[in-house]
Amino acid sequence: MEKIIKRILLALSVTVVVSACTDSKQYETSFCALMDISGTYAGEKANVANIIKAGIVPEMIPGDSLFFVKIDSNSYAEENLVTKLTLDYRPTKANTQKLAIAKTLDKFGKGNAKSRLTDISGALMLCSDYLKATKSGTQVMFVFSDMKEELPEGVVRKFAEDEFDGIDIAAMNVIKLTDDSANPEVYRKRIKNWNQRIVDSGAKSWNTLIDATKIQEFIYNVK
């Protein structure tokens, strides 16, 4: 009997030790920044690149990932992924990687990429795929757009029920269009619709951040 108890205790101890050794993925954060390059928002590229550089990149710690996706007429495509990065566990190497991505963002900000229509949903779905693939514990999306979607003919975008499962999504730097200025209700209704769609698709949270300086506070809260 004593032997059996000892064996059970040993097995339990081994199980506890093995289960205690876990992969660090659940402690890591994956960010996905979506940048609208259509219409009037195309002029915001440099500004958005600066916000990402100063707000998101410094908050990344070794092991974290960042995907930068552009929103154009048909966003659910691999070529929409501008750059991606997973920070090395060594701080010095991670610093070098951060500097490299900062240069890529600068280059994108200065570029003249532009699209006619706005496929926000496709970009969101693409981002969701990339974020889920990382299996990170915290997954965050930042949408830099006016949030007005204009899909090309024949393009269908329907979110699955668990499309954004466990993802915190924030609409950043949402600029008001001419129609919005004329009637704020249009803007509010548009944002509300997005909120409804995103939350119904399983998103952990939906936020609209007007002040870009609050980005660090937001990351701290979702982490």
Partner 1 sequence: MKSFYFLPEMPGVSIAVWIAASMIFLFFAREPVHKMIQTFSDATAGGLRKLAEWTKETAQAMREKDRKVLLESGVAKIQGEILQEFSKIDMANTKSLAGYPKLQLKLDEKISQLETDYNECGQVTPEAPGWSEVVKSIAKVKGSTSDRIIEGMLGEIHKSAVEGEKKALSELRDISAKRHKILGSMAPVWKRVEKLGKEISSQVDKVMENSRNIEKYMTQYEKISAAEPESIDMLSSKVTKLFIISLIVICVGLVGAFINFNLIALPMSELVPAGVRVAGMAVSEISALVIVALELVLGIFLFEAIGVTHTFPQIANMTRGKRKIILWGCLLGLLFLSSVEASLAILRENLAEAKNALDISLAGGSASVSNEINSRITVIGQAMLGFVLPWILAVIAIPLEMFIEASQHAFAKMYTVFITLLCHLANMIAYLIEGFFNILVHLFDIYIIIPVQIANMISGKQVSAS
Cβ-based nearer residue to partner 1, 2 or 23: 23
Least distance (Å) from partner 1 to the CB of residue 34? 20
User: Minimum distance between the CB of residue 95 and partner 1, rounded to whole angstroms?
Assistant: 5
Residue closer to partner 1 by CB (options 18, 210) is: 18
What is the nearest approach in angstroms of partner 1 to the Cβ of residue 51? 11
Length of the chain: 223
Residues with Cβ within 8 Å of 169's Cβ and at least 6 positions away in sequence, in order, are 124, 140, 141, 143, 198, 203, 205, 206, 207
Residues 75/138, Cβ–Cβ less than 8 Å: no
Which CB, 28 or 36, lies closer to partner 1?
Answer: 28
With respect to partner 1, which residue has the nearer C-beta, 90 or 188?
90
Residue 195 has, within 13 A of its CA and on its CB side, a CA count of 10
Task: Of 172, 109, 118, give the one whose Cα is nearest residue 140.
Answer: 172
Smallest distance, partner 1 to C-beta of residue 142, A: 16
Q: Smallest distance, Å, CB 202 to partner 1?
A: 26
Return the number of the residue (93 or 114) whose C-beta is nearest partner 1: 93
Q: Which of 133, 129, 144, 132 is nearest to 70 (CA)?
A: 144
Q: In angstroms, rounded to a whole number, what is the distance separating the alpha carbons of residues 198 and 181?
A: 25
Residues at the contact surface with partner 1, assessed by CB under 8 A? 20-25, 27, 50, 53-54, 57-58, 62-63, 88-93, 95, 98-99, 102
Which residue carries 């506890």 as its tokens?
A: 16
